[in-house]
Structures are given as C-alpha cells and as structure tokens.
Amino acid sequence: MKKALILALFSFFWSLPVHASVMGIFPGDLIKLKDDKNPATIEDKVVYYYDQDWFRHPFPNQRELESWYKD
C-alpha cells in the first residue's frame, strides 16, 4: 500500500509542467555567454534577450541592440 502511494505521488509530481530556469536570470534580461577564447566560435560574442518562454534571442548586430537599449 505504501509503495503504491509513493509511486502515485511520484507520478503526479513528475507530470507537472516545469519551466527551465537559470539562477539569477529572469525573462527580459540581456545575457552574454562566457568567452571561451576560441576564435572559431561567435556565440560568446553575441548579446541575447531572454524572453518569457525561457528562449534566448540574439541581437544580430550592435545597431539593433542600441535600437532597443540606449546603454
């Protein structure tokens, strides 16, 4: 009986939707990846906007970033 109850509770909590999150980063934040010092990668040179659905959207260039944010 206890095993069935534990299994039922585990199944219930496992099925709940969970949003991915990163500690200290919230929707609406601007983020930049840590520089890995590899000249072949450009992902660490891009500034990203973190949206409400926890997706990151890159700014294609400096001018586009400055059109959204002054500083």
Has residue 14 been placed in a domain?
Answer: no
Has residue 52 been placed in a domain?
Answer: yes
Has residue 58 been placed in a domain?
Answer: yes
- Among 30, 24, 35, 41, smallest CA distance to 65 is for 30
Tell me the residue range of the domain where 64 lies: 20-68
Give pLDDT, residue 3.
Answer: 67
Has residue 6 been placed in a domain?
Answer: no
pLDDT by residue, tens only, the chain of 71 residues: 666 666 555 555 455 444 556 678 888 899 888 888 888 887 788 889 988 888 889 988 888 888 988 76
Tokens of 46: 């891009």
Give pLDDT, residue 18.
Answer: 47
Q: How many structural domains compose the chain? A: 1
Give pLDDT, residue 32.
Answer: 87
pTM equals 0.58
Has residue 2 been placed in a domain?
Answer: no
Has residue 47 been placed in a domain?
Answer: yes
